Chain A
């Protein structure tokens, strides 16, 4: 049955950064890969992202950050997701993420880091792998 249910992904742009080329390319590529993609649009607060994720009952959340503020934003988002009872939803981050921060993000609980230029098909496979357990539960 879970094969019939499309994977739902929330692509979100937190904070003030307005560079959305990457977010839109990822959203379009995941849609092309057969997923249902909800894109938040720009300048969303962490609170707004968590509430959209709850409402839309998504399987994976993807954050796009290019301003350099990825560490504080990731920490804040994960804490609020736990508080909202969706702490188990995997979160991936894309954007201008220096290599040295990848391990830090993972240790915070981020499930995947996709820096600028990541392979779109490989990303879609990762999202599918991350979403599968969640979809099975649903």
Chain B
């Protein structure tokens, strides 16, 4: 009987290729050495968490992604979220801003303020952060290719609020290598783009030490199709490349690498994700200590934002995404994330509505304050299954990183040649085919599907407002008319000159944004010097 039943057990293979057995036991964790492999929370190798008390002393930071239309619209949503107990902001920019184009550029037509806030000059950032104290509220800027410009604007706003550089908090996404892999908001060729990243990291290490200048995003790599193992492996390969470039400038790893953070994806099998994060924390600590010679615990602690998983949400029966979001938040909490930016239930087809943003915020608050998720650290530690999976994930992540180094010539070369992009695209096709064959289940989509209207009437679609573009164009024209044109020209010339050499560009950026030079003008000057990225189209 028992033998017969065993034969019938269905096979389970995680996305990362790990087979799952029906039962795990002591034999699966027999080799586990507590001090070596786990350590107490807050102690090397930080598998259990980077702080001794984790959420018991302070719940995770709740930081919903917001931004649309004009800086005034965005300022309104920011204040709404802060009024409802959110303690940090996550700014979305529109595509022209992300691509370094002004709102009045012909290529921006139809896109101004569409997927995020439009920013042309410092004026827009002044409006967006009106009444939001930048030494108290930590702001995350979802910007990459033109980061030095937007970061300079942010620092200039802080300066106008009377906040000294040394006290400014926040994070810039500023991870260009992942833009070449997924998301696609790249502008410059790889080498000058990497130089800009190193410029911002070096500048912040020396002048704004509380600021996190780079958030390496496994998130978008996974959203583009990568497995959880590839997500961590590629993100870590990218992070090592950035760190090496700053070390090459003569900084010590402990002087800056603690201000590097990560943005990871949460969707997928719950246990696989929890194991992924625990393995990733352990591996990062070892990498920083053994490869880069880090001495400070802060440098070895992998800090992360999690909670986004747009790829796991469905257009069909969108209310189900509220449930998925709650599980994503649970995964983040069980994984020891520092910050959560929980995806919203309407995210599969629109800019999140106020209602959807609030439900996500409430989901996190319920978990933290009603469900006991902030009471004890790393509650899954010691589980036969979770510990065994954590070990397996770590092995596979290391193997994937070795493959990038040994078979593709390192991450910079692999991305420049489009090899990572091709690997991720093939993985995306495999996933889609499995989904369409029903081998991967999406409830309400390929199983238990309801007939009828695909999109629920309950969902309020974000309307694109052409008036917002008019308003934005008017403000830009006014700034152009009122600013000191001579000062703008001087500052742009300085950027042009320095872009040809290797001086850190951040001071020149600050000068230019204070003179109200536009994003498009500054990026335009850099493009003149460096040209644009030629995408390796390789399928």
Contacts and interface: CB of A to CB of B under 8 A. Distances in A.
A69 B110 contact: yes
Nearest to B422: A24
A126 interface: no
A21 B186 CA distance: 16
A28 B107 contact: no
Contact of A37 (B114, B426, B429, B539): B539
A117 B223 contact: no
Which DSSP category, helix, strand, loop or mixed, fits chain A's interface?
Answer: loop
B110 A28 contact: no
Contacts of B470: none
Contacts of B95: 15-18, 67
Contacts of A73: 110
A57 B109 CA distance: 29
Given A20-B184, A67-B95, A120-B436, A98 B539 contact: no
A119 B445 CA distance: 12
A121 B436 CA distance: 9
Contacts of B425: 21, 24-25, 28
Given A98-B461, A115-B315, A16 B111 contact: yes
Given A67-B114, A68-B114, A96 B433 contact: no
Contacts of B114: 67-69
B109 A72 contact: yes
Contact of B225 (A21, A39, A119): A21
Nearest to B311: A21
Interface in B424-445: 425-426, 428-429, 432-433, 436, 445
Contacts, number: 94
Contacts of B433: 29, 120
Contacts of B182: 19-21
A35 interface: no
A29 B179 contact: no
Given A19-B184, A28-B539, A40-B537, A98 B107 contact: no
A65 to B, nearest CB: 11
Interface in B218-237: 223-225
Interface in A83-103: 96, 98-99
Interface residues of B, number: 42
Q: Which of A25, A29, A31 has the largest number of chain B CB atoms within 10 A?
A: A25
B428 A21 contact: yes
Which DSSP category, helix, strand, loop or mixed, fits chain B's interface?
Answer: loop
Interface string B168-198: 0000000000010011111000000000000
A27 B185 contact: no
B535 interface: yes
Interface string B454-467: 11000001001000
Interface stretch (A41-49, A105-113, A129-137): A41-49
A42 B349 CA distance: 21
A24 B315 contact: no
Contacts of B98: 16
Contacts of B539: 24, 27-28, 31, 37, 39
B50 interface: no
A39 B537 contact: yes
A29 B95 CA distance: 28
A116 interface: yes
Contacts of B155: none
A99 B109 contact: no
B109 A98 contact: no
B99 A120 contact: no
A124 B428 CA distance: 17
Nearest to B418: A41
Interface string A54-96: 0000000000000111001100000000000000000000001
A8 to B, nearest CB: 15
Contacts of A39: 537, 539
B476 interface: no
Nearest to B316: A117
B304 interface: no
Contacts of A37: 539
Q: Which of A40, A41, A73 has the largest number of chain B CB atoms within 10 A?
A: A41
22 contacts: A15-B95, A16-B95, A16-B98, A18-B179, A18-B185, A19-B182, A19-B183, A20-B224, A21-B223, A21-B225, A21-B428, A25-B225, A28-B429, A40-B537, A41-B537, A42-B184, A43-B99, A43-B184, A68-B464, A69-B110, A69-B111, A116-B315
Interface of A: 15-21, 24-25, 27-29, 31-32, 37, 39-43, 45, 67-69, 72-73, 96, 98-99, 115-117, 119-121
Given A67-B111, A117-B316, 15 more contacts: A16-B98, A16-B99, A17-B184, A18-B184, A19-B182, A24-B539, A25-B432, A27-B539, A28-B426, A39-B539, A42-B184, A67-B95, A68-B114, A73-B110, A99-B454
A-B pairs, 3 with minimum CB distance: A18-B184, A16-B95, A24-B425
